[in-house]
A and B are shown apart, each in its own frame.
Chain A
């Protein structure tokens, strides 16, 4: 019980530290977006600070490049040795929040074996998807048939949400990008 109390007060303390530490001006977490994940939890995007992240955008009904994007994230993750690997979070944000509800995200995570808590599949409010894409420097366009044209890039964020590196190499590991990930995790 005493341990539990200590843990709770430690968590409260950590929470406060995060709430009061000013974000760097070039942090993507300056944008106050809300993310809802594959299990239905909604939290501010900025609550992801504290962990190094691989981030990209996708949509669940995408059959062409998106599966390759996810594969490339997996390959990049595997290229990092433990224990650093388990310190890396992976975040996929949907271009298509209209259709990608919690259940679609959940199904996709199951199908592609993207285990939480390391993997997060998230949707924003429909009005915020374009702003999130703009922050990440990604382009997308909805086509009349419901598909999307979009740029395919992996983005590396540091623990405070600053963009450290990005790669447009999809389908295989980009060695330079992997090196940047290792360095960000303190394993380079």
Chain B
């Protein structure tokens, strides 16, 4: 009996899916592509727990059933755009284009936040996400490895019309899966990253748009894959949804 059938059976019997797995990550000082002070300061990260997998269609369906205000036919437009869950066959049915163990996508930041709250969790901060995603199978920080960078970049090159893989990639050193190579993921402070779609305009007109010390400088320019993610996240509005945009949650201990 496949994992899928067990999951389906579980949903039929119990409604809410089995509690999600969270894995602990130790606190650390982390050199982010976005220095904390806009110059060079590293990020201080407190210990936290992260979902080992992104939230799936099956899990999100259980959430929509128990929180009907988040059904696609009921959600107020201010919280989610028109394409919210539009690949599902109905308001409370997945259909062929949304398999139960595929990561849920076409969810807004507001929706992702509400989901995480429903499992007593929250969205990760950018620093928490970047720190977790720097790991590979045997290192907590694989970013200086050109092969690691290439593999992340290679995923970006995948045509957007290819179907999403299912969850269940190889676990990293923390026991977390699918941070790179499956979907883009929301972070709680996506509207704090302060870079234009093209970081070149930081030096020009955009500086007047921002108060304080000016927009952040991005470090580690060789870390192009991560910078692309920052650029993508900061170009979004909180009600936007996208075919490849999902999320996972974290908890503070």
- Taking the nearest CB of chain A, how far is it from the CB of B124, in angstroms? 14
- Taking the nearest CB of chain B, how far is it from the CB of A152, in angstroms? 6
Chain B residues whose C-beta falls within 8 Å of the C-beta of A65 in the assembled complex: 210-212
Cβ–Cβ contact B78 & A141, under 8 A: no
Give the CA-CA distance A156 to B187 in the complex, in Å: 27
Cβ–Cβ contact A135 & B238, under 8 A: yes
**Which single member of B77, B78, B189, B209 contacts A151 (CB below 8 Å)?**
B209
- Taking the nearest CB of chain A, how far is it from the CB of B190, in angstroms? 8
Residue on B nearest A151 in the bound complex, by CB: B209
Give the CA-CA distance A135 to B78 in the complex, in Å: 7
Stretch at the interface among A1-9, A25-33, A36-44, A114-122: A25-33
Chain A residues whose C-beta falls within 8 Å of the C-beta of B213 in the assembled complex: 143, 147, 149
Q: Which of B178-208 contact A (CB under 8 A)?
A: 188-189, 191-194, 208
Q: Which of A114-140 contact B (CB under 8 A)?
A: 130-131, 133-135, 137-140
Residue B22 at the A interface, CB < 8 A? no
Interface of chain B, main secondary structure: loop
Residue A104 at the B interface, CB < 8 A? no
Considering only CB atoms and an 8 Å cut-off, how many residues of chain B contact the other chain?
30
Residue on B nearest A69 in the bound complex, by CB: B211
- Taking the nearest CB of chain A, how far is it from the CB of B196, in angstroms? 11
Residue A144 at the B interface, CB < 8 A? yes
Given contacts A134-B238, A149-B210, contact A30 B78 (CB under 8 A): yes
**Which single member of A27, A30, A133, A149 contacts B211 (CB below 8 Å)?**
A149
**Which single member of A27, A138, A145 contacts B76 (CB below 8 Å)?**
A27
Considering only CB atoms and an 8 Å cut-off, how many residues of chain A contact the other chain?
36
- Taking the nearest CB of chain B, how far is it from the CB of A32, in angstroms? 11
Give the CA-CA distance A54 to B189 in the complex, in Å: 25
- Taking the nearest CB of chain A, how far is it from the CB of B42, in angstroms? 10
- Mind listing 25 A-B residue pairs with CB under 8 Å? A25-B78, A30-B78, A31-B78, A64-B211, A65-B211, A65-B212, A130-B189, A130-B191, A134-B110, A134-B237, A138-B191, A139-B191, A140-B192, A141-B189, A141-B216, A143-B36, A143-B37, A143-B38, A143-B213, A144-B37, A148-B212, A149-B210, A150-B210, A153-B209, A168-B209
| Chain A interface residues (CB < 8 Å from chain B) | 23-28, 30-31, 62, 64-66, 69, 130-131, 133-135, 137-145, 147-153, 168, 170
| Chain B interface residues (CB < 8 Å from chain A) | 36-38, 41, 75-79, 109-110, 113, 188-189, 191-194, 208-216, 234, 237-238
Closest 4 CB pairs of A and B: A65-B211, A134-B238, A25-B77, A25-B76
